[in-house]
Amino acid sequence: EMTRGDIFKFGGLIAFFALMVIVVILIWPYIHEAFEPGGLSRVIDDVRNAGPLGFLILLAVQFMQIVVAFIPGEVVQMAAGTMYGPWLGAAVVLLGCFISSAFVFAPFVRDMVPTKYLDKFNAFEESGKLSIVVFILFLIPAMPKDTFTYLVPLTNMRMRDFLVLSNVGRIPGIVISTYAANGLVDGNITQSIIIFAVVAVIAIVAIVFR
């Protein structure tokens, strides 16, 4: 027999998949076009010239990137920087991250996550270091942040604390990606390559030392 809570979670799960289908249908023409010859430039121009709708499209892509995690986050951030510049692009991406991270705390989403990945997070929680670990993990570029986004709600960390720690931690990486992408558009290729190289070195060092 299903309890009221189970019914709520089941209804939320159905609504979740319905929302994903709607978002995919809306942005699919742009995704399909991006893989055509010269399509990426056309997509960027179309979204940039779409006015307020362009911001919604970018938010939808950012939402999908975190919730479904089939697009690397850096790709979305670079696209945002190319479309709207380093600061406005970063602001749109950060807003999308905030909305998506809050959405993952919904009960029906938490129940979809395998608990076998929680051992490390439970150890950090018991040691009292979970907050600083979450902040550092989201601060380091190229880390699998979408995985962490699903694991942290399974701990006792409050949503408010997670949203502050994760999204403040994301800011440097987002700004760096949008700034470097905008530099490519403006012709500052050497500067952008240096930025990407430095970020790559930081990511490799972080991964090597776990």
Spatial CA neighbour of 120 closest among 107, 112, 109, 130: 130
Which pLDDT does position 168 carry in this prediction? 87
Amino acid at 58: L
Structure tokens given for 87: 């600061």
**CA 131/CA 12 separation, integer angstroms:** 28
Q: How many CB atoms lie within 10 A of CB 29?
A: 11
Directed axis angle between helix 86-104 and helix 73-84, to 10°? 140
Nearest of 89, 105, 62 to residue 174 by alpha carbon: 89
Backbone angles phi, psi at 121, to 5 degrees: -65, -35
List of residues 6+ apart from 111 with CB closer than 8 A:
9
CB 69, CB 144: distance < 8 Å: no
Token output for 205: 């060092």
Question: Rounded to an integer, what is the distance from CA 123 to the centroid of its chain?
Answer: 25
CA atoms within 13 A on the CB side of 49: 6
Please report which confidence band the pLDDT of residue 193 belongs to, taking 50, 70 and 90 as the band edges: confident
Average model confidence (pLDDT) for the chain? 76
Question: Which of 47, 67, 70 lies closest to 57 in space, CA to CA?
Answer: 47
Put residue 187 in one of left, alpha, beta given phi > 0 → left and psi -120 to 50 → alpha.
left
Query: What mean pLDDT comes out for the span 173-177?
Result: 81
Q: How confident is the model over 149-165, as pLDDT tens digits?
A: 777 877 888 888 888 88
- Specify the higher pLDDT residue, 105 or 71: 105
* Total residues found in the chain within this entry: 210
Task: Give the closest residue to 201 by CA, choosing from 140, 147, 145, 115.
Answer: 140
Q: Tell me: pLDDT of 20 over 70.
A: yes
